[in-house]
Amino acid sequence: MNNIVNEDDFKYYMQDIERYYFGARYNYLELLDNEMVPFKFKTIISKYMKDEVDLDTTLESHFYYLTDDTFDYEILKQLKSRVRVSQYKDPFKKEKGFKEKIYTIQELVRIPVEHKEEYGIIIRELIVSKLALFAFSI
């Protein structure tokens, strides 16, 4: 049974002095429609990523299956993207509970999908550097 009561709880946008944070249940179309999302990030999605990724794809699904041989990977790398995940504390000892971990996009892509399943990885959040977004040339 699915214990998630409100899917919108996992669709959020926040920022601090250095980074933007996007809830991973957002799909790209919802990001484009959200007036709070930075215009430059929307432009990158609509100009560069829409050909690589279906706009109905959630961030969670996109990053889970992302590979390093695609243009969208290169864009996310340029943006110094990081991903917050929840994963088993120790999947090999079958220790109960989850821990949070932040992976760079390069680290996350190096983990094969089978291992992501073993580790119980759940993508929670996309983190984008403000400085990298500022420096990204469109």
Residues 6+ apart with CB under 8 A from 131: 18, 80
* Cβ-contact 87, 132 below 8 angstroms: no
Q: Domains in the chain, start-ordered, CATH in brackets?
A: 11-135 (3.30.465.10)
pLDDT per position as a tens digit, 85-137: 999 887 667 667 888 999 999 999 999 999 998 888 999 999 999 999 999 98
Task: Note the pLDDT of residue 8.
Answer: 66
Q: In which band, very low, low, confident or very high, does the pLDDT at 3 lie, cut at 50, 70 and 90?
A: low
